[in-house]
């Protein structure tokens, strides 16, 4: 195995052992093979299901310039006698120090984050989240979030931002409805608002009727995250991206106790 070069010398929670829950294990990528397994799942979801037009290598891996600066959380099936372990969920984390060294967050490729500049010393970024189709249940999302929150808390992170992607097989109508619902109940204060570089034309899209909430967006809101502004149109991934932030100071007390016991 090839050791994975991570974003910092020893992020606290990334050094812990794998945790098993039933038929699934949660761990952090420590070797290049682990990262490639996560990138292969990302390729299957983003390119195979969404039709994304983003860089990929000849082995069917979804890759970008941020990967080698991030920590990668993976959920795997437990290996059996006749079946090897498979990665069924993944998330990546760009810690504040790594973002500082890199000079930017991925979110800045889609949004103007000027109003968040004062938060950058304590602000991490979550991204490239995906779950294999047969495993898209609340249980897998909860496993990912539990380990993410504990990891961020252990490393002194106070805010986490990211893009919550909404597929657009309907041309963006559901994303527009979702935005209208989020802005009325879960909007961040004006001082933290961000603007998309390429906005989804929400005012030109049908917005009547209830929105279908992707599990990831529902999960964000359930634990206390807020939307920072209108969605961006990500033509490469064929989706709308909603800028979200979780501030641990205002996180749902019930989930704070559940995740970190405080």
**pTM, rounded to two decimals:** 0.90
Distance separating alpha carbons of residues 165 and 203, to the nearest angstrom? 19
Place of tokens 């290996």: 79
- pLDDT tens profile 182-221: 999 999 999 999 999 999 999 999 888 999 998 889 888 9
The 3-state DSSP class for residue 126 equals strand
CATH code of the domain covering residue 208: 3.40.630.30
Q: Residue 139's pLDDT band (boundaries 50, 70, 90)?
A: confident
**Domain assignment of residue 99, yes or no:** yes
Mean pLDDT of 151-160: 95
Q: 82 lies in a domain?
A: yes
Is residue 3, in this structure, part of any structural domain at all?
no
Tens digits of residue pLDDT in 223-238? 999 999 999 999 988 8
Domain assignment of residue 30, yes or no: yes
- Please give the tally of structural domains in the chain: 1
Whether 6 is covered by a domain: the verdict is: no
Q: What is the DSSP letter of 186?
A: S
Number of C-beta neighbours around residue 211 at 10 A: 18
Helices (H), 1-134: 32-42, 96-102
- The pLDDT mean for the chain works out to 89
CA end-to-end span of the chain, whole Å? 38
d(CA 109, CA 125): 13
Residue 7 domain-assigned (yes or no): no
Residue 1 has a pLDDT of: 43
Strand pairing report for 123-131 and 159-167: parallel
Higher pLDDT, 258 or 99: 99
User: Domain residues for 192?
Assistant: 12-260
């Amino acid at each position: 195995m090839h050791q994975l070069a991570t974003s910092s010398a020893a992020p606290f929670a990334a050094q812990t052992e794998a945790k098993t829950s039933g038929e699934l294990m949660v761990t952090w990528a420590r070797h290049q093979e682990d990262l490639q397994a996560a990138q292969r799942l990302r390729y299957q979801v983003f390119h195979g299901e969404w039709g994304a037009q983003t860089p990929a290598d000849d082995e069917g891996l979804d890759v970008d310039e941020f990967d080698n600066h991030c920590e990668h959380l993976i959920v795997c099936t437990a290996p059996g006698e006749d079946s090897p372990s498979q990665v069924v969920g993944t998330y990546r984390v760009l810690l504040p120090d790594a973002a500082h060294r890199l000079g930017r967050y991925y979110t800045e490729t889609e949004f103007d984050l000027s109003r968040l500049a004062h938060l950058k010393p304590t602000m991490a970024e979550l991204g490239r989240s995906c779950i294999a189709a047969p495993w898209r249940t609340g249980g897998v999302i909860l496993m990912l979030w539990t380990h993410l929150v504990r990891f961020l808390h252990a490393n002194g992170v106070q805010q986490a931002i990211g893009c919550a992607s909404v597929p657009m097989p309907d041309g963006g109508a559901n994303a527009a409805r979702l935005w209208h619902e989020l802005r009325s109940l879960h909007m961040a204060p004006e001082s933290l608002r961000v603007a998309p570089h390429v906005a989804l034309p929400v005012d030109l899209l049908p917005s009547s009727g209830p929105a279908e909430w992707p599990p990831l967006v529902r999960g964000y809101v359930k634990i206390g995250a807020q939307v920072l502004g209108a969605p961006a149109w990500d033509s490469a991934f064929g989706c709308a991206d909603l800028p979200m932030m979780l501030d641990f100071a205002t996180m749902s007390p019930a989930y704070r106790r559940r995740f970190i016991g405080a």
